[in-house]
């Protein structure tokens, strides 16, 4: 279980998270929506200890991530796959090497690593690109490699930071289906940050809206679709006023 407990974070005096609390239960996928710049990526980074909270903490499997020592933090990270908003592929390595790096760290053998790479690339519809360098790929392809890199680890948790932004509608649908399948087949617990409401409705068990540093509303897809909160309504309907 991942639990944000009253998380606060500011950068250079600018308050970003201001008392964020949210529970993600085992096996479910929670979609986090919210305006650009409200701190969705910042929140995700706290789960894996890339950022340190000013106050509050994120609890993963009963451990407060912000207080963990180096080795304990490494163990927590080994259970989590992270899909970065801008893919964050290692640009000095081929696609296969990008995928292999994390697998090798988990002590898998060469054959197993090769199988997992092939399988993960097939899942994101990129079989045959294993030897390409990231710079040779389109933005959408890089994004999918980023997803494959996380899925190949078969982690217990996957954090997706805007997995479908910038993809064409069909590829988006493919990625949505992939996220649903990973949850169903592997029982992965997921946090998905997205602006894409169609994707949110497809993959989310629950949807939470981050607004002004805290959760404005959290509920099932149906609850969110029928919400009376004007802020949430405006966001999900995408109205300018």
Under the rule (CB under 8 A), what is the footprint of other proteins? Answer: 45, 48-50, 70, 74, 77-78, 80-82, 84, 86, 88-91, 101-102, 105-106, 153
Residue 187 binds: one of ligand ATP, Mg ion, other proteins, none (C-beta under 5 to 8 A by kind) = none
Should residue 37 be labelled a site residue for ligand ATP when binding is judged by CB under 6 A?
Answer: yes
CA–CA distance, 219 with 106 (Å, rounded to integer): 36
Size of the site for ligand ATP (CB under 6 A): 11
Binding mask 78-107 for Mg ion (x = CB under 5 A): -------x----------------------
Should residue 40 be labelled a site residue for ligand ATP when binding is judged by CB under 6 A?
Answer: yes
Closest CA to 162 of 28, 31, 7, 25: 31
CB atoms inside a 10 Å sphere around CB 141: 21
CA–CA distance, 201 with 225 (Å, rounded to integer): 9
DSSP per residue, 74-138: HHHHHTEEEE-TT----TTS-HHHHHHHHHHHTT--HHHHHHHHHHHHHHTT-TT-TTS-GGGS-
SS3 152: coil
- Contact range with ligand ATP by CB under 6 A, out of 31-39, 56-64, 116-124, 229-237: 31-39
Q: At what angle do helices 169-186 and 139-151 cross, to 10 degrees?
A: 0
Provide the minimum distance between the beta carbon of 149 and other proteins in the complex, in angstroms, as a whole number.
8
Binding mask 2-41 for Mg ion (x = CB under 5 A): ---------------------------------------x
Residue 199: is it exposed, middle or buried by C-beta count within 10 angstroms (0-12/13-18/19+)? buried
CA–CA distance, 51 with 66 (Å, rounded to integer): 8
The kind and range of the H/E element at 14 are strand 14-24
Provide the minimum distance between the beta carbon of 51 and Mg ion in the complex, in angstroms, as a whole number.
13
Should residue 11 be labelled a site residue for ligand ATP when binding is judged by CB under 6 A?
Answer: yes
Binding mask 38-67 for Mg ion (x = CB under 5 A): ---x--------------------------
Position among 85, 132, 171, 217 found at the interface with ligand ATP (CB under 6 A): 85
Residues that bind ligand ATP (CB under 6 A): 11, 16, 34, 36-42, 85
């Amino acid at each position: 279980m991942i639990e944000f407990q009253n998380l606060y974070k500011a950068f250079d005096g600018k308050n970003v998270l201001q008392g964020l609390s949210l529970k993600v239960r085992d096996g479910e996928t929670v979609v986090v929506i919210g305006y650009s710049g409200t701190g969705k990526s910042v929140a995700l980074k706290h789960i894996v200890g890339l950022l340190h909270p000013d106050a509050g903490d994120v609890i993963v499997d009963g451990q407060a991530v912000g207080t963990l020592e180096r080795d304990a933090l490494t163990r927590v990270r080994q259970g989590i796959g992270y899909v970065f908003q801008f893919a964050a592929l290692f640009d000095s390595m081929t696609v296969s090497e990008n995928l292999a790096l994390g697998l090798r760290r988990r002590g898998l053998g060469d054959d197993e690593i090769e199988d997992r790479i092939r399988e993960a690339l097939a899942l994101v519809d990129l079989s045959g690109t294993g030897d390409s360098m990231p710079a040779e790929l389109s933005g959408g392809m890089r994004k999918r490699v980023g997803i494959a890199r996380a899925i190949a680890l078969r982690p217990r948790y996957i954090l997706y930071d805007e997995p479908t932004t910038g993809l064409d509608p069909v590829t988006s649908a493919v990625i949505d289906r992939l996220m649903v399948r990973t949850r169903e087949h592997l029982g992965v617990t997921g946090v998905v940050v997205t602006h894409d409401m169609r994707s949110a409705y497809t993959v989310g068990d629950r949807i939470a809206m981050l607004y002004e540093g805290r959760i404005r509303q959290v509920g099932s897809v149906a609850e969110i679709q029928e919400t009376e909160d004007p802020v949430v309504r405006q966001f999900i309907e995408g109205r300018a006023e």
